[in-house]
Amino acid sequence: MADPGRRPPDRPIVWVNCAVSLDGRLAFARGVRARLSGPEDLARVHRMRAEVDAVLVGAGTVAADDPSLRVKWDVAGLPRGRDPLRVVLDPHARLSPHARVFDRTAPTLVATTARYQRQLPTAVDSVVAGEETIDLGRLFAALRDRGVARLMVEGGARVLASVLRDRCFDRLTVYYAPVVIGGALAPPMVAGPETLGSEDLTVLRLASVVSLGAGFVAEFVP
Ligand SMILES: NC(=O)c1ccc[n+]([C@@H]2O[C@H](COP(=O)([O-])OP(=O)(O)OC[C@H]3O[C@@H](n4cnc5c(N)ncnc54)[C@H](OP(=O)(O)O)[C@@H]3O)[C@@H](O)[C@H]2O)c1
């Protein structure tokens, strides 16, 4: 994790993490969940969740994967502790009330917009973070004000696009599984607006590459 002493004043420390195929896909065609992480990478991901105050995903990931976003302490190899806050971006109120993030087994915060506010399940907190879409700067400042010092962003493709393009992150770790998914319908690691030339590139610096299980983890900094 980045040195907390260098935490930006207006947001938590943001650690982005995802798992991709060698051709940079996050999932199978049409977004069907691909379990790309092997046991070693799952242990790494659960240790990361255990280290942060909040874990964030977009509504698309909740719709596709229905993740619990909790720490599996046995998988992490750690004594049971406190689960991080689960943060979901849902600007158009499209989350199902039956999603696992609403199961009340850990706290959940839904980031909504002024235009699409709605009734949320009991015990689920919400924050308005924009008018029609979510302003990540506003959301991250609200999270910092709620005591979130360390935030892990887990995806999916559109959320990663926003966070990487806005450069509001401190570290990106990508697990590369030695598989190729291919095709035109499997989501890429990063969606969002087109890059038309080098002036639009998001340039990162490679900090480390570590072999892990069948694949490897590369770590980048902005
Ligand atoms: N391999 C991995 O590590 C991994 C991890 C996570 C997810 N995934 C995969 O990723 C796919 C889902 O990706 P996705 O792109 O469809 O969904 P997503 O990025 O999880 O969620 C995108 C949605 O978040 C909302 N959103 C609100 N504010 C946003 C902002 N500032 N920037 C971006 N999004 C914002 C939007 O909701 P509205 O549409 O309502 O506007 C947007 O459609 C699934 O296939 C899942 O399996 C893979």
Cβ contact 110:125 at 8 Å: yes
| pLDDT value of position 9 | 77
- Of 28, 30, 159, the one to substitute when testing ligand 1's pocket (max ligand atoms within 8 A of C-beta) is 159
**Structural fold of domain 20-221:** Dihydrofolate Reductase, subunit A (3.40.430)
Is-contact 25 19, C-beta < 8 A?
A: no
How far, in Å, CA of 159 to CA of 165, rounded? Answer: 10
pLDDT number for residue 171: 97
Ligand 1 atom with the shortest distance to the CA of 139: 31
Instruction: Summarize pLDDT for 25-78 with one digit per residue, the tens.
Output: 999 999 999 999 999 999 999 999 999 999 999 999 999 999 999 999 999 999
Rounded to the nearest whole angstrom, what is the distance from the C-alpha of residue 161 to the centroid of ligand 1? 9
Ligand 1 contact, 61 CB (< 6 A): yes
Residues 6 or more apart whose Cβ sits within 8 Å of residue 31:
60, 64, 156, 187
What does the DSSP 8-state code read for residue 100? G
Distance between first and last Cα of the chain: 14
Ligand 1: does its nearest atom lie under 6 Å from the Cβ of 33?
yes
Domain boundaries, the chain: 20-221
Check pocket membership of 12 for ligand 1, CB cut-off 6 A.
no
d(CA 54, CA 57): 10
The residue ranges of the chain whose pLDDT is under 50 are 2, 4-5
β-pair partners for 220: 172, 206
**Element of type H or E holding 145:** helix 136-145
**C-beta 88 within 6 A of ligand 1:** no
